[in-house]
Structure 1
Amino acid sequence: MTETVLDDADGAWQLRGFVGDEWQWHIGPHKPFTTAGWLPARVPGSVLDDLHRAGEVPDPYVGRNSLLSEWVPNRNWAYRRTFTLPPLEPHERAVLRFDGVDHEATVLVDDTVVVRHEGMFRPFEADITHLVRGGGEHLLAVVVHPAPQSEPQVGRTDRVRVHKARMGYGWDFCPPMVHQGVWRGVRLVVSGPARLRGVTASASLGPGTEGLREGAVRIEADLTLAEGQRAPDGTRLAVRVRDGDRVVAETERDLTGMTEDAGAHIELSVPQPRLWWPNGAGEQHLHEVEVTFTSGPHTTTRRFQVGFRRVELVPNDGAPKDALPYTLTVNGRRLYANGWNWVPLDAQYGVPRPAKLAHLLDLARAAHVNLLRVWGGGLLETEEFYTLCDQLGLMVWQEFSMSSSGMASTPASDPEFVDLMVREAHAVVPPRRHHPSLVLWCGGNELQDEKGNPLDESAPCAARPSRRDRPARPRAGLAAQLALRRGVPQPGRQHRPQPGRPARRPRTLGTPGPRGAQPPVRLRNLPAAQRVRRRGHGQPPHPRTPSPRRGGPLARRPREPALRPPRRLVEQRFAGPGLLRRTHRRRRHHAARQPASAVRRAALRPGSQPAPRLQKQRHPSLAVQRARPQRLVHGGRRPPR
């Protein structure tokens, strides 16, 4: 099997907007690519980002410019490009594979519709063998239809009928910037009559202490066969597990003579596996699983990085019998969950930003975070996100894209919406199963029932799929991953702190504490917090954030008001005798200088000499604030009493 990635590496994609069905007049192999009105586009990417780069809309991140682009999601946007392939053999098939289009799309090859799709998180494909069997150059067009109706933050959750990121419809930290576009990759696959359509992998450990020495790898392969064909001789599926350069398990299955679509299930035993641990608890050992499907002259290989770990929630010590389990255990060891909330990197989340993603996740690792909760108003995160979390030891609490609202936070319960969410769960959970970092699936953000109680598994849209509807082993770490539990205390049930961790009341950021103002990030290791904020642990600044080393315009920007303690607090708590003397000298120095207004008045008198050039002076209050030693505020040595 051969795969051709149809990305924008050669600048092949173009974009144009249309009102209504006007796009049907402008898409076809007879339309030249030099026609006016088409703009360069990027795949994967975002419609709004392409329009900004082409100068069609102002930068939506500046001022109130986002208001000038709110018309964009109301139009159809057509992507187009050409692709070339040699003539197909009689037994060969050609399939277009889309990893994600946001949100509804119609796909055409030349001027023929090959597939219609709805849903930004579900991949889809189209068999185009009958259109391209003769080879040559062909036109591929993807028409992204207007964004669906949804609810902003101040709305009603029961009116939401799509599984799409709601953040772009307007949130307290994001203006309305509804996302559209081909936001994941596109591939052209040429294979024989038998094809490996999909494959998932997972790693697990046995029960109890002894089970930590008994690992297992499970492979589930989805095999498809052309209508009226049979698998040729030599069709086989091989699985190999490596720990570094060492092969620790392997097997092979003969599939010759297969006459219909089928699924292959393979399980391998891995004795004495090296374990995967969260950040701060141990090393993140990863094993490579290689799945190879061979059918005639065509070979398909898929590789996964898996980790052996067992993650569970157990009841707290001394908790009543009806209390929910809240203590986190990994590989039998109780751990303190030190976590952050994670939202999409950008409102235009289709634009790849690998450097920014790696930088932020590395900051989380350096701040001793071991759990990231992916907020339900955003995304089901990307493969790149989970891969980095696997490597950094960051466990992931992933929420489906459902969120509370300002008016009502109860999700819809009609059968059509419930069926949609079941299909979404079956489509998105198994492909992410191999990531050891992904330990918990949750139904959404702050969902409630009609009485205002936190939503649990009794809600239709958050219930467990029945065994008949449930995909094989639909879990990603805990005993019941697809339960979609919200994971918050229920009314009448107690929530106690973990043993050895007394409950602490958080202070408001920037307010005085026992040693003055609190740091902007609540971390248990204040010196580490200082290093993260000031140096970023050696990570380069993001291109959108100029730095003093690059001489950007924001290199000397003032500190945010929330990070600056009051003047009185600086003088009383952090001003030692030496600092006060320096401050008084600065005040005398400013008082001795002649005011600038007097110099200007003298320059206006007849016959006066030109006014001397004055150096920029600081206000005395700024001198006090500038003299504040940063190290003391962020956890250095104790200030003198």
Structure 2
Amino acid sequence: MSNSEIVLKNWSYRKDGTEEWFQSRKEAACTEIFADLLNNGQIPDPFLDTNERDVQWVGEQDWQYLNSFEVDSALKDLENHELVFEGLDTFATVWLNGKELLKANNMFVEYRVDAKPHLNFGGVNELLIKFDSALRTSRSLEKKHGQYKCFNGETSRLQVRKAQYHYGWDWGPILMTCGPHLPVKLVSFNSIIDDVYVNSQISEKLNATIDVQTDIRTKSQVAIDIEVISPSGKVIEKAASKVDKNGLDSFKFDIQNPELWYPLGHGEASLYTFKVTLSNLKEIQTVIKKVGLRRVELVQEKLIDQPGTSFYFKVNNIPIYSTGSNWIPCHSMKTLMTDQDYTDWLQLAVDGNQNMIRVWGGGYYETDIFYDECDRLGLLVWQDFMFACGQYPGFPEFIETCKPEFDHQIKRLRNHACMAVYAGNNEDYQVAENFGLHWDQNDHSGDYSKTDFPARTIYEKVIPDALKSLNPQVPYHPGSPWGGSHTTDPTIGDIHQWNVWHGTQEKYQDWYKLGGRFISEFGMEALPNRKTYEDCITDKTELYPQSESIDHHNKSDGFERRLALYVFENIKVEGLDLDSWIYATQLMQAECLGYAYRCWRREWRGEGKRYTSGAIVWQINDCWPVASWAIIDFYKRPKLGYYSVKRESHPIGVGLYRNEKKFTHEQAKPVSKEGAPHDYSKTEYNVDIWGVNATTEPLPSTLKIDIYNVTLGDIIESLPDKPVTLSANATTEFVESHPISNDVPVVIYARLVDNKGNIIAGAADWPQPLKYLKFNDRKVDFTVENGQIRLRANNPVKGVEIIVERDVFLQDNGFDLFPGDDKIVVAKDLKATDKVSIRYYQQAKK
């Protein structure tokens, strides 16, 4: 008899202590209380206006969920009947037909319970789950175990294994939800495949040794058939065996010259199909895994002429410059996310030339579709374990609660080729430093229970032991940031560079001296699209930058001062109406992020000189409509910063940086920038220009450079065309310290052209700060066609934004335009009849 799987749907819910049941969302296999209350109109939408304040009572209540389901009497002949709870959020007691089955306390664990003694075969069964308030429970646990320190949210969150962002973050609301957030199912069987692990070992010569490990439970003899299909669709291996008891069945074979999985920009993301069938005269169960074969290494080696060590990923022996984004949960009510949402979001990352996504440790281990899509698209995943910004406990009960979580999640993720590195936590070592906790880096005992930083036991002993046992092929990093003598050491490990925006609030033009070996967090805030505000603010009189509603949709501490600081330091603000302010913040974010990517990518200088190996912006997405560091807002509307990152992450690029030298009046010697508050000494400028090539082949091209008078728009100098060759997988210096006229403000426009005269990369360097610039006559003409927009400028134009009335994805936006270089922006879904307008920096008012 084949196995049976019943997925429970059509839940009912009620507040604990009340009588009336309410229907959950129809056909929903997983749900949560905020989604259900919202669906039934029992709460105002917490994403609208300031409604978040009015729904806080939900998280302070206990809630019950009920499911009634029938079990066919024929299934009684099967020996085993298990209720599988893929995810319960968080403190849950479960009863089946009045009998208590389970007490759960970890959102990230899958629970399996023997249900056979309590099932009603041939009739109706009732599954009741009571969810205790995680907020009240965490506070109770804090009283018992003591208060620990943290950034963001309240301190009691550290006591529980629940998505930490539910407690509120500096970009997200406080929505303490609960419920069966992943499917609950009844699985009935005599024999079953519990797990299939495709354990692949890729040699340095890139040959593959495969061990298909099938974890089986059975009391009778069953047959296992394995079929392996190549990415091109050819069956390359078949095997059959018989087993008669619980345990692992192993099938090993070699593949010479396998079709390997490569990250975006370096080859195909090839996936093999592994089909494992369990049978006993007839098929019982089939498990299919799509698996990419790849060799991944985290390389930390000495550098030729700088201190410390490198920190870069090598995939199939190719050094990879990591350019990408941090990923937070895409929704504060995760069960409202669809598979298509994940596909859309990750396609946006790919369209933005990103090759790495970092799953941040304050949310949850993402759903299967997320990792499946990363495999398919060639996106590397940096996976944090779910600890963020806190001094977590380390007492035995807490660690024992975590161990099943680690085992379950590692087993769930280990077949995914996208997995590049696991990190033990987000910023917990930084918390230890900031609060002066005891942290002896020379103590490698693995037991830190007697210190005030006991969670080191988790990060440096428990997790690495689990990985060594279950998935040793993927590198492990104890935390992020981590490495060197302190967490901000730029010479070893990764850093989170928040001295722009947070910290010392440096000028973003100084990103070049704020780098490190791998920058896994940095960012700049900007407002979202006007349509996003119109979608989340119902009172249209609130649509101005300083309104209470707009302020409510910004959770960053001190954002008014910091945002104003960076905008007014850099951008001429044409008005404080909402449209002008949105454009100013988005242009400022775009300039800021572009500088960072450009400066740091320059330091990928080749073998032994990979001084900076990655830049992962904070962040790509939002969990609700909000002004934040996201480069795409909640409704999937890219900000100008998304396009700036996209341009700087293109496989082929040009980089420019303007250097400044100060001289005394009497001497020709440079002087320090420090000194008198107003320094009127002579200033000279020069520019460096370099090229970027992320491919593995050298690229010949021609470098063209024009220097324009910003104000008048005319060319004051054109450098001779220069044949250049971009080194493979490295940066190549083209021009060093070329002097620039200081008599007038100039913009340097550099581009690489191929042998047919086509521009393959281009960039411009404008005088800083942009607010000092003045422009004379500028005109941008554009035409709208099906699928594209054509633009032309008579003079250099900064920050051209295309605005389409309806939501249409543009392949570029927020770009600079130069005379003679017509711009075509592709927009696949655009129609010639669409209403389109443009704006650009310091556009003359009509």
Same topology, TM > 0.5:
yes
Q: Which residue of 2 aligns with 1:199?
A: 196
Q: Which residue of 2 aligns with 1:584?
A: none
Q: Following TM superposition, by how much is the alpha carbon of 1:262 offset from its aligned partner in structure 2, in angstroms?
A: 2.4
Q: Following TM superposition, by how much is the alpha carbon of 1:427 offset from its aligned partner in structure 2, in angstroms?
A: 1.9
Q: Which residue of 2 aligns with 1:69?
A: 55
Matched, 1:313 2:301: no
Instruction: Give runs of aligned pairs for residues 156-305 of structure 1, distance below 5 A.
Output: 160-192=158-190, 194-206=191-203, 208=204, 210=205, 212=206, 214-225=207-218, 230-232=219-221, 235-243=222-230, 244-256=232-244, 258=245, 261-295=246-280, 297=282, 299-305=284-290
* SS of corresponding position for 2:322: coil
Q: Which amino acid aligns with 1:216?
A: T
Closer, same or farther: CA 215–523 of 1 in aligned 2, 3 Å: farther
Q: Which residue of 2 aligns with 1:594?
A: none
Q: Does the 8 Å CA contact 1:159/1:412 hold for their aligned counterparts?
A: no
Q: Which residue of 1 aligns with 2:459?
A: 462
Q: Which residue of 2 aligns with 1:80?
A: 66
Q: Does the 8 Å CA contact 1:497/1:503 hold for their aligned counterparts?
A: no
Aligned length: 524
The Cα offsets for residues 463-513 of structure 1, whole Å up to 9 and x where unpaired, read as 23499x6477422643x43x6444533217662799xx9877799675649
Q: Following TM superposition, by how much is the alpha carbon of 1:47 offset from its aligned partner in structure 2, in angstroms?
A: 0.8
Distance 2:154 2:126 in 1: 42
Pick the aligned partner of 1:342 from 314, 320, 327.
327
Q: Which residue of 2 aligns with 1:129?
A: 116
Pick the aligned partner of 1:495 from 488, 491, 494.
491
Q: Does the 8 Å CA contact 1:279/1:370 hold for their aligned counterparts?
A: yes
Closer, same or farther: CA 295–113 of 1 in aligned 2, 3 Å: farther
Pick the aligned partner of 1:519 from 572, 575, 590.
590
Matched, 1:475 2:471: yes
Q: Following TM superposition, by how much is the alpha carbon of 1:574 offset from its aligned partner in structure 2, in angstroms?
A: 7.0
Q: Following TM superposition, by how much is the alpha carbon of 1:98 offset from its aligned partner in structure 2, in angstroms?
A: 1.8
Q: Following TM superposition, by how much is the alpha carbon of 1:156 offset from its aligned partner in structure 2, in angstroms?
A: 7.6
Closer, same or farther: CA 518–402 of 1 in aligned 2, 3 Å: closer
Pick the aligned partner of 2:22 from 38, 41, 50.
38
Q: Does the 8 Å CA contact 1:579/1:627 hold for their aligned counterparts?
A: no
* SS of corresponding position for 2:369: helix
Instruction: Give runs of aligned pairs for residues 1-16 of structure 1, distance below 5 A.
Output: 1-8=2-9, 12-16=10-14
Alignment gaps of 5+ in structure 1: 27-35, 527-541, 546-553, 581-625
Pick the aligned partner of 1:413 from 394, 397, 406.
394
The Cα offsets for residues 564-619 of structure 1, whole Å up to 9 and x where unpaired, read as xxxx9999747442559xxxxxxxxxxxxxxxxxxxxxxxxxxxxxxxxxxxxxxx
Distance 2:771 2:463 in 1: 65
Q: Following TM superposition, by how much is the alpha carbon of 1:277 offset from its aligned partner in structure 2, in angstroms?
A: 0.9
Matched, 1:149 2:138: yes
Distance 2:463 2:624 in 1: 48
Alignment gaps of 5+ in structure 2: 140-147, 447-455, 495-510, 516-521, 525-565, 572-586, 599-622, 627-634, 645-767, 781-796, 803-811, 821-846
* SS of corresponding position for 1:402: coil
Q: Following TM superposition, by how much is the alpha carbon of 1:452 offset from its aligned partner in structure 2, in angstroms?
A: 6.0
Q: Does the 8 Å CA contact 2:410/2:467 hold for their aligned counterparts?
A: no
Distance 2:301 2:124 in 1: 64
Distance 1:62 1:126 in 2: 40
Q: Which amino acid aligns with 2:176?
A: V
Q: Does the 8 Å CA contact 2:138/2:156 hold for their aligned counterparts?
A: no
Q: Does the 8 Å CA contact 2:483/2:493 hold for their aligned counterparts?
A: no
Closer, same or farther: CA 298–578 of 1 in aligned 2, 3 Å: closer
Most deviating of 237-246 and 289-298:
289-298
Q: Which residue of 2 aligns with 1:99?
A: 86
Instruction: Give runs of aligned pairs for residues 522-561 of structure 1, distance below 5 A.
Output: 522-523=593-594
Most deviating of 331-340 and 152-161:
152-161
Q: Which amino acid aligns with 1:288?
A: T
Closer, same or farther: CA 578–153 of 1 in aligned 2, 3 Å: closer
Larger RCO (alpha carbons 8 Å, 6+ apart)? 1
Closer, same or farther: CA 570–432 of 1 in aligned 2, 3 Å: closer
Percentage of matched positions with identical amino acids:
22
The Cα offsets for residues 198-224 of structure 1, whole Å up to 9 and x where unpaired, read as 333343312x2x2x1x21333333323
Pick the aligned partner of 2:313 from 313, 318, 328.
328
Closer, same or farther: CA 220–325 of 1 in aligned 2, 3 Å: farther
Q: Which amino acid aligns with 1:114?
A: L
Q: Which amino acid aligns with 1:245?
A: G
The Cα offsets for residues 375-406 of structure 1, whole Å up to 9 and x where unpaired, read as 111111111111111111111111111111xx
Q: Which amino acid aligns with 2:482?
A: V
Closer, same or farther: CA 321–263 of 1 in aligned 2, 3 Å: farther
* SS of corresponding position for 2:270: coil
Q: Following TM superposition, by how much is the alpha carbon of 1:63 offset from its aligned partner in structure 2, in angstroms?
A: 2.0
Instruction: Give runs of aligned pairs for residues 443-454 of structure 1, distance below 5 A.
Output: 443-448=424-429, 449=432, 451=436
Q: Does the 8 Å CA contact 1:570/1:628 hold for their aligned counterparts?
A: no
Distance 2:215 2:349 in 1: 36
Distance 1:497 1:304 in 2: 34
Closer, same or farther: CA 570–320 of 1 in aligned 2, 3 Å: closer
Pick the aligned partner of 1:383 from 346, 349, 368.
368
Q: Hey, which of these two has a bigger chunk of strand by percent?
A: 2
Q: Does the 8 Å CA contact 1:40/1:50 hold for their aligned counterparts?
A: yes
Closer, same or farther: CA 60–223 of 1 in aligned 2, 3 Å: same
Q: Following TM superposition, by how much is the alpha carbon of 1:445 offset from its aligned partner in structure 2, in angstroms?
A: 0.7
Q: Does the 8 Å CA contact 1:3/1:187 hold for their aligned counterparts?
A: no
The TM-score with structure 2 as length reference comes to: 0.55
The TM-score with structure 1 as length reference comes to: 0.72
Distance 2:589 2:174 in 1: 33
* SS of corresponding position for 1:350: helix
* SS of corresponding position for 2:269: coil
Distance 1:279 1:461 in 2: 33
Q: Following TM superposition, by how much is the alpha carbon of 1:297 offset from its aligned partner in structure 2, in angstroms?
A: 4.9
Q: Does the 8 Å CA contact 1:44/1:352 hold for their aligned counterparts?
A: no
Closer, same or farther: CA 126–286 of 1 in aligned 2, 3 Å: same
RMSD between superposed Cα atoms in Å? 4.1
Q: Which amino acid aligns with 2:210?
A: V
Q: Does the 8 Å CA contact 1:203/1:434 hold for their aligned counterparts?
A: no
Closer, same or farther: CA 484–5 of 1 in aligned 2, 3 Å: farther
* SS of corresponding position for 1:424: helix
Q: Which amino acid aligns with 2:391?
A: T
Q: Following TM superposition, by how much is the alpha carbon of 1:296 offset from its aligned partner in structure 2, in angstroms?
A: 5.7
Closer, same or farther: CA 574–276 of 1 in aligned 2, 3 Å: farther
Q: Following TM superposition, by how much is the alpha carbon of 1:347 offset from its aligned partner in structure 2, in angstroms?
A: 1.0
Q: Which amino acid aligns with 1:224?
A: R
Q: Which amino acid aligns with 2:263?
A: P
Most deviating of 105-114 and 54-63:
105-114
Closer, same or farther: CA 401–331 of 1 in aligned 2, 3 Å: same
